[in-house]
Amino acid sequence: MPLKAPRDPGFAALRRASRAAIVIPAAFAFGALVLRDPQNVIFIVFGCFALLVMSDFGGFRPRRAVAYLTATLVGAVLVALGTLVSPHAVLETALMFIVGFAISFARVFGGYAAAAQTGMLLAFVIAVSIPAPADEIPTRVGGWLMAGTISTLAAVFLWPRFERVTLAKQAAKALRAIADLVASLAPGAGDQGRPQLIEAARLAEKAAQREYAVAAKRPAGPARRERAFVELLGELQRIVDLIEQPFDLYGASTRAPIDESARLVAATVAALRASADVLTGGAPPHVTAVAEARDVHRAALDEWAAKELRTGRPAQEVLDGLAGDHTLRVVAYVTVVLASNAVIAAGRRPDPDLPLPEGVPRLQGLGGGAIRIWRTITTHLEPNSTITQNSLRVASGLAVAVLLARQLGLQHSFWVVLGTLQVLRSNALGTGRTTIQALAGNVIGVVIGGAFAAAAGNNPVVMWVTLPVVVFLAAYAATTVGFVVSQAAFTINLIVVFNLISPAGWQIGLVRIEDVAIGAAISVVVGVLFWPRGARRELARGIAGFYHAVGIYLDHAFDRVLGIEEAGGADAARGLSIQARDRAAEAFDAFLNEKAPSPLDPQTAGSLLSAGNQALLAADVLDVVSGRMGYQASGCPDGARIVHEQVDVMLAAFLRLADQLALSELDQHPARITPQALRGAALHCLSHWRNDDQAGRGALAVVIAAEWVQNLARMEDDVDRSVAIAVAAARTPWWR
Average pLDDT, integer, range 637-646: 93
Q: Where do you find CATH 1.20.58 in the chain?
A: 163-361, 536-731
38-48 and 117-129 helices cross at what angle (nearest 10)? Answer: 160
Q: pLDDT digits over 567-600, tens only?
A: 567 778 888 898 888 888 888 877 777 666 667 7
pLDDT at 274 (0 to 100): 95
Mention the CATH class of domain 163-361: mainly alpha
Average pLDDT, integer, range 358-381: 63
Average pLDDT, integer, range 689-705: 86
Q: pLDDT digits over 487-537, tens only?
A: 888 888 888 888 887 776 666 777 778 888 888 888 888 888 877 767 778
Q: pLDDT digits over 387-429, tens only?
A: 888 888 889 988 998 888 888 877 677 778 888 887 777 666 7
pLDDT at 99 (0 to 100): 94
Cα separation, 646 vs 616, whole angstroms = 18
Average pLDDT, integer, range 202-218: 76
Mention the CATH class of domain 536-731: mainly alpha
Dihedral over Cα of 191, 193, 198, 201: its sign? negative
Q: Which residues of 588-623 are buried (b: 16+ CB within 10 A; e: fewer)?
A: bbbbeebebebebeeebbbbbbbbbbbbbbbbbbbb
pLDDT at 219 (0 to 100): 45
Average pLDDT, integer, range 370-391: 77
pLDDT at 485 (0 to 100): 85
pLDDT at 22 (0 to 100): 92
Q: What single letter denotes the amino acid at residue 506?
A: W
Count Cα atoms within 13 angstroms, Cβ side, for 108. Answer: 30
Q: Residue 527 class from Cβ within 10 Å (0-12 exposed, 13-18 middle, 19+ buried)?
A: buried
Q: What separation in angstroms does the CA of 167 have from each of 107, 111, 210, 230?
A: 20, 13, 10, 11
Lowest mean pLDDT, pick from 315-319, 530-534, 688-692: 530-534
Q: Residue 133 class from Cβ within 10 Å (0-12 exposed, 13-18 middle, 19+ buried)?
A: exposed
Residue 6 has pLDDT above 80, yes or no: no
Q: pLDDT digits over 153-205, tens only?
A: 998 888 776 667 788 889 999 999 999 999 999 887 777 788 999 999 999 99
Cα separation, 704 vs 721, whole angstroms = 28
Q: pLDDT digits over 655-681, tens only?
A: 999 999 988 866 566 788 898 999 999
pLDDT at 181 (0 to 100): 94
Q: What separation in angstroms does the CA of 393 have from each of 291, 405, 425?
A: 47, 18, 9
pLDDT at 357 (0 to 100): 57
Residue 287 has pLDDT above 80, yes or no: yes
- Confidence bin at 216 (pLDDT 50/70/90): very low
Q: pLDDT digits over 594-628, tens only?
A: 666 667 777 788 888 888 888 998 998 898 888 87
Q: pLDDT digits over 12-24, tens only?
A: 778 888 888 999 9
Q: pLDDT digits over 62-107, tens only?
A: 878 888 999 999 999 999 999 999 888 899 999 999 999 999 888 8
pLDDT at 549 (0 to 100): 94
- Confidence bin at 554 (pLDDT 50/70/90): very high
Q: pLDDT digits over 245-268, tens only?
A: 887 655 555 778 889 999 999 999
pLDDT at 222 (0 to 100): 42
Q: What separation in angstroms does the CA of 30 have from each of 37, 55, 148, 234, 611?
A: 11, 23, 15, 48, 57
Neighbours of 86 (CB within 10 A): 23
